[in-house]
Amino acid sequence: AQTVTQSQPEMSVQEAETVTLSCTYDTSESDYYLFWYKQPPSRQMILVIRQEAYKQQNATENRFSVNFQKAAKSFSLKISDSQLGDAAMYFCAYPQGGSEKLVFGKGTKLTVNP
């Protein structure tokens, strides 16, 4: 079965510091997308960043960047200069091979301490 694993149920970071959330996945596909979504207390799912597997370059969106290791099937999210508004649940996800069904990890709850 194709799965997404987030091994850190909870993480905390000091404001202005950097934190990395880990994600591993299992797929037999060679070309696919990977996503990180944020779910704040409002429960609205918000796209944080997207990575295309065929691209060698790691995706970056302002303070958010990924470390994509295709061979290791690893897709970690780095948040730099953490802000109080970054506190949320973070989900790693990718579309199941051969379909558009988005498969989610169990999530990591990020707390940002002032």
Chain residues that interact with other proteins, rule: CB under 8 A? 33, 35, 37, 42-45, 47, 50, 91, 93, 99-107
CA distance 25 to 104: 10
Residue 77 CB neighbours (<10 A): 24
For 83-98, letters b (16+ CB in 10 Å) and e give eeebbbbbbbbbbbee
**Cβ at position 16, least distance to other proteins in Å:** 28
In the bound state with other proteins, the residue whose beta carbon lies nearer, of 9 and 114, is 9
**Cβ at position 48, least distance to other proteins in Å:** 10
CA distance 68 to 42: 29
CA distance 46 to 31: 23
In the bound state with other proteins, the residue whose beta carbon lies nearer, of 41 and 114, is 41
In the bound state with other proteins, the residue whose beta carbon lies nearer, of 10 and 15, is 10
In the bound state with other proteins, the residue whose beta carbon lies nearer, of 13 and 93, is 93
| Residue 32 DSSP label | -
**Cβ at position 47, least distance to other proteins in Å:** 5
**Cβ at position 95, least distance to other proteins in Å:** 8
